[in-house]
Amino acid sequence: MRVIAKRTLREFWERFPDAVGALKSWHAEAVAATWRNPAEIKARHGSASILRDDRVCFNICGNKYRLVVKISYKNGIVLVRFVGTHEEYDRTDVEVV
């Protein structure tokens, strides 16, 4: 998959250094993946939440942080829409960002 906006991930792990390993690992896995549908993501990431509009929420660092992406399965593109703390996630409409 092509991941757009690694910079967003980098800016986040600069603020929260404990997330660097988990986000780099997620990024490497996403780049190597060929996800064709949400079921393939759930099979690998059981704690991921499948949202409307082809969005997926991944738990990062044991659910301390949340990562929301929008996926174009047909085109193989993952667009980072949100990365933040659990509290920031609760205050954000992730189906709109």
pLDDT in tens, 46-68: 999 999 999 999 999 999 999 99
Q: What is the pLDDT of residue 18?
A: 98
Sequence letter at residue 90: D
Whole-model pTM: value is: 0.94
Residues in the chain: 97
* Dihedral sign computed on CA atoms, order 7, 12, 13, 15: positive
